[in-house]
Structure 1
Amino acid sequence: MPEPPHHDLCIVLTYYSPYVSGLTNVARDLAEGLAARGWRVCVVASKHDPSLPTEEVVNRVQVVRAPVLAKVGKGTIGINLTRLALREMARSALVNLHLPLVEAGLLARLSPVPVVSTYHCDVSLPTGDGPVVRRVVNHAQHRAIDFSSSVALRRSTAAVVSSEDYARHSRLWPAIDGRLVAVPPPCPPRGPGRPTFRRGDGFHVGFLGRIVEEKGVEHLVDAFLALDDPDARLLVGGDYEAVAGGSVVDRVRRHIRDDPRIEMLGFVPEGELDDFYASLDVFALPSVNAFEAFGIVQVVAMMAGVPAVVSDLPGVRTVVEETGFGAVVAPRDVDGLAAALSRLRDSPPDTEAGSTAAATRYSVESVLDAYEAVFHKAAGR
């Protein structure tokens, strides 16, 4: 008789908690949420920080981390992740690959159990400027990841995406088509906070995310400066020291030009996030390319009663379109972004209705229900 599986589900991805990114947070909330419901969950990821333990149990989830040889762009190099992932997959009833993941194609080909892939976004790496070697490496990594993700998607029983809008605009739509299941990321609500980040009674705009090229933070800075409002404040929160792919904090600071109304907060700890959102009048997500496929932070802001100004990008725009709580602006449109900020400042929307709409549509429990249905069907239960 075959040995029963050790795990109900094995989740595989490149970066896992305590690394912070939208993709990482989705995998963490999914793993811990299902574990709380009684699932036996194992996560296999790279050991992005050498000080982390190779194996541990975190909130009922077994976490296995594979040491890496080197980091290239937003990914890692090393055979350990493939080896350890295959070991844990063989002990599982089902595997959930979180893409983009350069090892995904090989893992899907060799998987002894059904595969469900969660496709977060098209990978985006700068190829138009910088040293020649970096551009060549980025281009090669870009193609390798797309190929690997395509193979994995075609071998998956289901391809989970954050929205059909994003999937249909993805480079990998041909591999997703026919397997698509649209499930938004789980968005845990914030608790009540105190406005400790406010600097006066003026209009406060906030951004939260990694300070990287695809976030378009410099365009938000330019739009804020165009407001010409001496009492307004812009709070820019997010890591710019330990980010995969490299930070553009120097570019953002050049745009700020020492304006005292703009504050670079750096990484905002989990314990201070409630206070951060409670300090805002508007949240901004000025992303500039398709690497941003949803934007969990905009939903969290809405749940806290803060309307969002977001870029008109596939997937990102759907949250504002579905809730009506905010504004959608073309990417890199500084004038449009400034106009949207002014409009929300002068005519604030109904915060209670917006918060309720976001909480109802994107709650963690409804997302876990949807994933359970996908996993049960894939496993033939």
Structure 2
Amino acid sequence: MKIAHLVSTFPPYHGGIGNIAYHYARELALLGHEIEVFTPNYDEGARALDRENRFKVHRLGPWLKYGNAALVPQLLWKLSSFDIVHLHYPFFGGAEWTLFLPWIFVKPPRIILSYHMDVIGDGVIKLFFKGYAKTVLPVLINQSSAILSATQDYSDSSAISRYMTRKPVKVIPYGVSNLFQPKERNEKLAGRLNLSSSDSVILFVGGLDRAHYFKGVNLLIEAVAKLKRPGIKLLIVGNGDLIPVYRDQVRKREMQNQVAFITGVTDQELPDYYNLADMTILPSINRSEAFGLVLLEAMACGKPVIGSSLPGVRAVIEDRKNGLLFQPGDSEDLKEKIQFILDHRETGERYGLSGFKKVEEHFRWTPIVGQVEKAYQEVIAKQPA
């Protein structure tokens, strides 16, 4: 099959949706399909990386852009020859152009929509997102031949739940790369980060830009500040324009010797950070967090995880089996969960082993993308001759 993936962000930008689209494209190309990715061009240096892929990446110059939204009408005349167009929602400025495909092509491609997350925001942006969800989203869903979601829990409580009676959702989880495995502590990295063997290391990995405001980094800093015990080190790994804001919070809390911000970490380097840590935490504050790939990465390295009790995240973390859930937005509850792992090392190790087994059984990319391929085949089989 000839398949196009439309996605608002793509590596080297660090974000869950782009990461997922990358692994879909990579695995589908390995299965012999002709894959092309269409994404806005935010980084001129990214084109050099694209030559390493087994699939084509088209980085489109946006006519207008705001955050991760980009107006790319040139999509219209680039999608005529595909069997499947896989739209990764949300993609403001890109998704809307798929609505015109049935009007301009005699045999339009079939649309698959992956619903990654509800978009919330604040102020005027919040009003825009609400209006979009009530007007454009229903039309996008109606034109799609299949809707994919990572968890039933999230789709049942999301903006698409009201449309599920007429357009059932196919649940296919996201996965984790085989790069992420348990391994020995990287002592060279530990030395570079000034970590001693007696330090307790808490890890956060995620976007630190305004598009990822919901990750709850400020909440995590507050929770760690409340621990009041020596030897705690918080590693915050990621890139983005909110780093100065978080640094200021750390300075005001006088935690400069406790918290390290680490930027520019590659996917190949990330497993060393997970394996250094005693736990990984995803402290997201609202349902813009729909899954939590970093939790899978930590679990794949055999580490216990702590996450907000949000739809989607609950499908990854089984409370008191492979990690702990805490009340979203509650820094005191998060502090207590961190304290529990620190005080019960054997239990934490048991959570880590359980998480590793769960990843191996359910969350590796190759079998997951096999399910995506099957969804495509079912859609093509239903297409009129």
Using the size of structure 2 for normalisation, the TM-score is 0.86
How far did residue 165 of structure 1 move? 0.5
Alpha-carbon distance, 1:248 to partner: 6.0
State the Cα RMSD in Å.
Answer: 2.3
| TM-fit CA distance, 1:283 | 0.4
User: Percent sequence identity over matched residues?
Assistant: 24
Please tell me the residue identity of whatever aligns with 1:332.
Answer: G
Gaps of 5+ in 2: 103-107
- Give me the whole-angstrom Cα distance separating, in 2, the residues matched to 1:86 and 1:293: 29
What secondary structure sits across from 1:380 in the alignment?
helix
| In 1: Cα distance, 2:285 partner to 2:381 partner | 40
Distance 1:141 1:311 in 2: 23
Q: CA deviation at 1:357?
A: 1.6
Contact residue 12 and residue 46 of structure 2 kept, 8 A: no
**How many aligned residue pairs are there?**
358
8 Å CA contact 2:223–2:332 kept in 1: the answer is yes
CA distance in 2, matches of 1:53, 1:253: 34
Give deviations 1:63-103, integer Å, cap 9, x for gaps.
112101332133113xxx332x3334211111110001223
Residue 297 of structure 2 corresponds to residue 300 of structure 1: yes
Once the two structures are overlaid, the 10-residue window that deviates more, 85-94 or 292-301, is 85-94
CA contact (8 A) 2:133 2:159 kept: no
Q: How do 1:263-274 and structure 2 match up within 5 A?
A: 263-274=260-271
1:90 aligns with 2:90: no
Q: Deviations over 1:265-288 (max 9, x none)?
A: 233222321210111011000000
Q: Within 1, Cα distance between the matches of 2:133 and 2:169?
A: 20
Residue pair 2:117, 2:290 contacting (<8 A) in 1 also: yes
Question: 2:96 & 2:223 partners in 1: Cα distance?
Answer: 42
Does residue 147 (structure 1) correspond to residue 135 (structure 2)? The answer is: yes
In structure 1, give the amino acid aligned to 2:62. V
1:121 to 117, 120, 128: 117
Q: Secondary structure at the match of 2:79?
A: helix
Q: Spell out the pairing of 1:186-201 with structure 2 (5 A cutoff).
A: 186-189=175-178, 190-191=180-181, 192=183, 194-195=185-186, 196-197=189-190, 199-200=195-196, 201=198
The superposition leaves residues 222-262 of structure 1 with CA deviations (integer Å, 9 ceiling, x where unpaired) of 11121111111111111124xxxxx3641453145231111
> Equivalents in 2 of 1:202, 1:56: separation in Å?
39
Partner of 1:67: 61
Residue 283 in structure 1 maps to residue 271 in structure 2: no
Matches within 5 A, 1:8-47: 8-47=2-41
Answer with 54-63 or 115-124: which moved more: 54-63
Change (3 A) 1:142 1:16: farther
- Note the 1:243-282 alignment, pairs <5 A: 247=242, 249-251=244-246, 253-255=248-250, 257-259=253-255, 260-282=257-279
Structure 2 CA distance for aligned equivalents of residues 229 and 303 of structure 1? 29
8 Å CA contact retained: 2:217, 2:246: no
Write out per-residue CA displacement over residues 354-378 of structure 1, whole angstroms, 9 at most, x where no aligned residue: 2112221111122111101111101
Of 328, 333, 337, 2:330 maps to 333
- Alignment check: 8 A CA contact 1:309 1:329 kept: yes
SS of 1:271 mapped into structure 2: coil
Structure 1: which 5+ runs fail to align?
Answer: 1-6, 128-135, 242-246
Paired residues of 1:73 and 1:138 also in contact (CA < 8 A): no
